[in-house]
Amino acid sequence: MLFKKVFFFLFVLVNVLLSAPLSQRMVKDKVWGSGETMLAFLQENKIPLKLYYDMDSEDEKLLSDIRINTIYQVLRNDDGDVEQVLLPLDDELELHIMREDDGTYSTSVIPIIYETKQKRLFITFEDIPSKDILNKTENYELSLGVTHLFRKIVDFKKIRLGDRLIVYYREKKRLGRFFGEQKIEAAMIEQHGKKYYQFLALDGKYYNQRGKTTGTSSFIIPCTYKRISSPFTTKRWHPILHRYRAHHGIDYATPIGTPIKAAYNGKVIFSGVKHGYGNTVVIRHAAGYKTLYAHLSRYIVHVGQKVKTGERIAYSGNTGRSTGPHLHFGLSLNNRWIDPALKIIFTKGLRGSKRAAFNTSTKLFMQKMKNVLERDKSHLKRAISLEEIDASDEHNRTVSAATKDGV
Give the footprint of Zn ion on this chain (CB under 5 A): 251, 328
Give 303's contacts (C-beta < 8 A, 6+ positions apart).
Answer: 268, 269, 270, 271
Q: Are 24 and 75 in contact (CB under 8 A)?
A: no
- Residue closer to Zn ion, measured from CB, 141 or 251: 251
Answer whether 76's CB lies under 8 Å from 82's CB.
Answer: yes
Shortest Å distance, C-beta 299 to Zn ion: 17
CB of 287 to Zn ion, least distance (A): 24
Q: How far is the CB of 249 from Zn ion (least distance, A)?
A: 5
Of 197 and 337, nearer to Zn ion (C-beta) is 337
Residue whose beta carbon is closest to Zn ion: 328
Closest CB to Zn ion among residues 179, 329: 329
Kindly state the smallest distance separating residue 328's Cβ from Zn ion, in Å: 3
Minimum distance from CB of 330 to Zn ion (Å)? 8
Nearer to Zn ion, 238 or 363 (CB): 238
Which residue's CB is nearer to Zn ion, number 328 or number 368? Answer: 328
Closest to Zn ion by CB, 232 or 365: 232
Minimum CB–partner distance for residue 295 and Zn ion (Å): 8
